[in-house]
Amino acid sequence: MSIVAHYLHKWKIRLGILVALVCLWPIQTWLINAMTTDALNPYRITLTLPLSDALNQDYGLSPDAKVNKVFVSGSFSDWYSDDPYYQMQPVSANQWQYDLSIHPGDIEYKLVLHLDGQPTPIWILDPNNPETASNPWGDANSLLHVLDWPKIATTVQLFTLSIVGAFLLFCVLEPFLYWLLHLKMPFHRKLMISNMLILICAQVVFFGYQLHQSRQLIKLSVSDTLHNMHLLLASEQIDFDNIADQQQQISTTIERFFLPQLPASIKNKTAYFKLPCQILPCWIKTAN
């Protein structure tokens, strides 16, 4: 069988696998976005009184105690017992609710009851959340465990890209490997040549990825520099609509910006400032 015939053999299967892998990307992106949005929705905390007799006994809470205010306290509020931002809102005579904004990771919190006629508040666990975590004082806090969906999404996307890349690499190298295996030479040489070919292709892909990342980093660096330059020129009361009449002030400002960043050997060479002084204000004006 010739190389072309071997390559075209079962081409429908290869094409089907490639289409399935390509379709997997938007599907997984939609699924991850849906799960991320749902996972990071505010967590609704609900407290209904009276508590059970066992909980009242554990917290030293009287069944007929009158609760004036209820707060949610945790690391997000520096464990303040009366932060007004985290005050639970009454929805009925004996029920309070609060929608707590969450973030990836572990969130520890407690509910703080302020009773009528009692100066010291009572700290209780969330009766509707069975998950707890021990604290340094030998007590327990209610615990929310939120999955780190951004990291999960990145890992899944890299895994999918690696599968697609490996399959494309196989499709490209398959005729060469088929031709190599049919050459009359020792097997160890075939194995060495095939491994070198795969390694070279993998390095090319890796180099392309690194080049893309470097370009993104350079773009981000240039964007940050232009932003800082805009803030600097704006602080000097530069009129971006009338740059031509402010060349001296712009040159002085830009020189003061770039001078500390240059090596001592070229700080006295004013030619380095001519191009930035002429071009950067125009870039900044265009960007704004």
DSSP state of 9: T
What pLDDT is attached to residue 73?
92
Where do we find the tokens 């939609």? 30
To 10 degrees, what angle do helices 187-235 and 271-287 make?
80
pTM given for the model = 0.50
**52: part of which helix (H) or strand (E)?**
none
Q: What is the pLDDT along the chain (288 residues), one digit of tens a residue?
A: 555 565 566 667 777 777 887 787 788 777 777 766 666 678 899 988 887 778 778 787 777 778 888 999 998 888 888 888 899 998 888 889 999 988 888 889 999 998 887 888 889 899 888 898 888 878 889 998 887 777 777 777 778 877 877 777 777 777 777 777 777 888 778 778 877 877 887 788 778 778 878 888 888 888 887 777 777 777 777 777 777 777 777 777 777 776 665 555 544 544 444 444 444 444 444 444
Residue 274 is inside which H or E element, if any?
helix 271-287
Residues 6+ apart with CB under 8 A from 272: 258, 262, 266
- The angle that helices 149-181 and 11-39 make with each other, rounded to 10 degrees, is 170
| 240 touches 281 (CB < 8 A) | yes
The predicted pLDDT at position 227 comes to: 78
DSSP three-state, residue 237 = coil
Looking at residue 274, what is its pLDDT? 47
- Cβ within 8 Å of residue 231, ≥6 positions away: none
Question: What does the CA dihedral 112, 114, 115, 121 come to, rounded to 10 degrees?
Answer: 70
Q: Which residue has the tokens 């930035």?
A: 276
